[in-house]
């Protein structure tokens, strides 16, 4: 953790402050008010959109994990190669 470029009191204070800020954010999120606020955000139109976006990106990541899974790749191999052909129509197949 200790690196020589970050020596001295100022950097120490900076480090402490970031730690403190992180801790306070965490505590707020776990507190009664924080939870309530979170719920309100989730129920609001904008918040719902954000949540859905996040969920969507998570789903995309999950799908990608499946793609990278070797067993699934055997199943999806044809589909993937088709996709790749569509993508690289004018290039030789990679991988």
Distance CA 79, CA 94 (A): 15
Domain interval for residue 94: 55-95
Verify that 60 and 87 share a domain, yes or no.
Answer: yes
- How many domains is the chain partitioned into structurally? 2
Q: Band of the pLDDT at 35, cuts 50, 70, 90?
A: confident
Q: Which residue has the higher pLDDT, 73 or 45?
A: 45
Does residue 20 fall inside a structural domain? yes
Verify that 94 and 61 share a domain, yes or no.
Answer: yes
- Whether 38 contacts 29, CB under 8 Å: yes
- Whole-model pTM: value is 0.30
């Amino acid at each position: 953790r200790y690196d020589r470029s970050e020596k001295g009191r100022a950097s120490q204070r900076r480090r402490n402050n970031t730690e403190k800020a992180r801790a306070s954010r965490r505590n707020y999120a776990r507190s009664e008010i924080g939870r309530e606020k979170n719920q309100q955000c989730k129920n609001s139109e904008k918040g719902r959109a954000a949540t859905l976006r996040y969920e969507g990106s998570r789903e995309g990541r999950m799908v990608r994990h499946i793609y990278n899974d070797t067993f699934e790749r055997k199943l999806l191999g044809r589909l993937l190669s088709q996709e790749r052909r569509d993508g690289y129509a004018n290039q030789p197949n990679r991988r």
